[in-house]
Amino acid sequence: MRLAIPDGAEVAQRKPFSLFDAILPLLTLAGLFIACALFPEVNQQLLVMVLLASGAVAGVVAVRHGGTWDDIQRLTGPMPS
């Protein structure tokens, strides 16, 4: 089975995500935000690191399910100029 993606290209069907795999990046994001809230000296750079960490977790989950970096870039859409 093949899946259509936004730009019209197709990728092979990958292993399905479990509920835990789907919410793991959100749990990471929420957990790190809560951890940052416990420290009053949190600055903007640390909050950016929280976003990057949850994005990295999402990437690891995608690769674990057979995705490639090209698939991730294609599914997130074109980069603005």
CA-CA distance, 52 to 4, in Å (whole number)? Answer: 28
Q: What is the structure's pLDDT at 24?
A: 95
Q: What is the structure's pLDDT at 1?
A: 45
Report which DSSP code applies to 2: E
Contacts of 71 (CB under 8 A, 6+ apart): 11, 62
The stretch 61-73 carries a mean pLDDT of 84
Tokens representing 22? Answer: 């789907």
pLDDT tens profile 7-60: 555 555 667 889 999 999 999 999 999 988 888 787 888 889 999 999 999 989
Contacts of 17 (CB under 8 A, 6+ apart): 61, 65
Q: What is the structure's pLDDT at 23?
A: 95
pTM for the full predicted model: 0.69
* Helices and strands, number each (H, E), in the chain: 3, 2
